[in-house]
């Protein structure tokens, strides 16, 4: 039994990036290709207002594949965080995994316990930000996002229709399917 009752009190909204925050265009790393999905600023602002810490959890196999560098990723991330800040949205942290088990080049070719569907990034965020998983939610556009959330033990799992297409009959039971981030936040009020 966990006797540390003073810890792990924060609730989090774990959010995938491509297909949830910005339009899925395949390995986005340039500002000019980064297109925010309509309504995402308002939705995240509202989620923060409901007390959720916003934690971005993103696989970045484009780094492994050599399409762009970790420096490129940090640059676009800084820009993204600034854009959110201008709209009054504070993103608490961003976690990324730059590896790929098959297509990674050099040091980036490896099986990573952080790459979704593995739960490593979520578990790191839980430790770093004292997150209560049961009170938290995860939003993704792929079943691998959902799988990572399920393995970590996130309380509610949402799949949005703004990104990668999926077949509804492949979606595991208990996963909530909504059109977009605004749909997620509506459900959080219930």
Specify the residue, 19 or 120, whose C-beta has the smaller distance to Mg ion.
19
Give the residue from 156, 61, 43, 66 showing the smallest Cα distance to 115. 61
Q: Does 19 bind Mg ion (CB under 5 A)?
A: yes
Instruction: Give the residue, chosen from 16, 76, 118, 136, that forms a contact with Mg ion under the rule CB under 5 A.
Output: 16
- Report the site for Mg ion in 99-138 (rule: CB under 5 A): none
Asked if 9 and 130 touch (Cβ cutoff 8 Å), the reply is yes
Could you tell me what percentage of the chain is helix, strand and coil, using 3-state DSSP and rounding each to the nearest 5?
Answer: 35, 20, 45
| Residue the block writes with tokens 């970045």 | 60
- For 5, phi then psi, to 5°, come to -75, -15
Q: What Cα–Cα distance (Å) separates residue 183 from each residue in 47, 67, 177?
A: 11, 33, 9
46 makes contact with Mg ion (CB under 5 A): no
By CB under 5 A, tell whether 62 contacts Mg ion: no
- Binding flags for Mg ion, 155-184, as an x/- string (CB under 5 A): --------x---------------------
- Has 16 been annotated as catalytic? yes
Query: Does 141 help bind Mg ion (rule: CB under 5 A)?
Result: yes
Find the catalytic residue in 18, 97, 141, 145.
Answer: 18
According to the binding rule CB under 5 A, does residue 18 interact with Mg ion? yes
Under 8 Å between Cβ of 95 and 169: no
Under rule CB under 5 A, residue 97 binds Mg ion? no
Residues involved in catalysis:
16, 18
Residues within the interface to Mg ion (CB under 5 A)? 16, 18-19, 141, 163
């Amino acid at each position: 039994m966990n006797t540390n009752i003073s810890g792990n009190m924060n609730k989090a909204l774990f959010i995938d990036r491509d297909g949830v925050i910005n339009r899925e265009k395949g390995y986005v790393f340039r500002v000019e290709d980064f297109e925010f999905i309509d309504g995402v600023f308002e939705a995240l602002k509202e989620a923060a207002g409901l007390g959720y810490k916003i934690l971005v959890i993103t696989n970045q196999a484009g780094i492994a594949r050599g399409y762009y560098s970790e420096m490129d990723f940090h640059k676009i991330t800084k820009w993204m965080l600034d854009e959110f800040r201008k709209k009054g949205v504070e993103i608490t942290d961003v976690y990324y995994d730059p590896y790929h088990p098959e297509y990674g080049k050099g040091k980036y070719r490896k099986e990573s316990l952080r790459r979704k569907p593995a739960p490593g990034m979520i578990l790191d965020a839980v430790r770093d930000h004292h997150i209560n998983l049961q009170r938290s939610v995860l939003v993704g556009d792929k079943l691998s996002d959902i799988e990572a959330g399920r393995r970590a033990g996130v309380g509610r799992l949402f799949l949005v229709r703004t990104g990668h297409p999926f077949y509804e009959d492949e979606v595991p039971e208990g996963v909530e399917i909504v059109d977009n981030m605004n749909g997620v936040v509506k459900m959080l009020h219930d």
